[in-house]
A and B are shown apart, each in its own frame.
Chain A
Amino acid sequence: QSVLTQPPSVSGAPGQRVTISCSGSSSNIGAGYDVHWYQQLPGTAPKLLIYGNSNRPSGVPDRFSGSKTGTSASLAITGLQAGDEADYYCQSYDISLSGSMFGGGTKLTVL
């Protein structure tokens, strides 16, 4: 069981907005460590989507945004598209584990 908790699945219709949460604790997100997000399309390697809580790498559409508050973080996707169907993972550093950890992943289904 991951120390970063994500909902197993979320869904939304094309054009809608969805959010994916990542709940941590005082030893990771709450300790001030940044949260990063990855998108894994079926059968492919993950791709960096958001780094440093809210920064987008070059080439990532501004439909994707990240935020962090207290011991949690969120990924928001607006204007949902069929191509957004994927697994999404959050990642942060955990001081008690002395290493980086990934959330369990959230499967996004576009209805």
Chain B
Amino acid sequence: QLQLQESGPGLVKSSETLSLTCTVSGGSISGSTHYWGWIRQPPGKGLEWIGSIRYTGSTFYNPSLKSRVTISVDTSRNQFSLKLNSVTAADTAVYYCARTKAAAGTIVDYWGQGTLVTVSS
């Protein structure tokens, strides 16, 4: 059974960079036809697709976040990562890593449990 697990700091200071890693187990990122991405959910609010990456390194980002986001993949560790720079309080959210069937983040068939990241001033 495929499992995804987010890891990283739960507290980030305003204007700094948020960094999270997703470790995939029970399946391989390499050679997969799927995409691997990040989705976030501010407390009490809805879902927002951040971006996705394929094992080849091809990336696809939400245009509204593109200038601040970098997603990378490490196939040797079966991990992919998110970096979001210049964070503000508006970036406080539960961040989910996920597997999707399409580059733009549609059909999310596996989710991590999510990790809350709080941006402090």
Contacts and interface: CB of A to CB of B under 8 A. Distances in A.
B86 interface: no
B114 to A, nearest CB: 5
A102 B112 contact: no
B26 interface: no
Contacts of B101: 51
B111 A93 contact: no
Nearest to A101: B49
Interface of B: 46-49, 60-64, 96, 101-102, 104-109, 111-114
A50 to B, nearest CB: 10
Contacts of B109: 48, 51, 57
Interface of A: 2, 34, 36, 38, 44-48, 51-52, 57, 89, 91-93, 97-105
B46 A51 contact: no
Contact of B49 (A52, A102, A103, A105): A102
Q: Which 4 A-B pairs have the closest CB atoms?
A: A45-B111, A102-B47, A100-B105, A100-B104
Q: Which of A36, A52, A100 has its CB near the most chain B CB atoms (within 10 A)? A: A100
Given A45-B111, A100-B104, A105 B62 contact: no
18 contacts: A38-B47, A38-B108, A46-B111, A47-B111, A48-B107, A48-B108, A51-B101, A51-B107, A57-B109, A97-B64, A99-B49, A99-B61, A99-B63, A99-B105, A100-B49, A100-B106, A102-B48, A105-B46
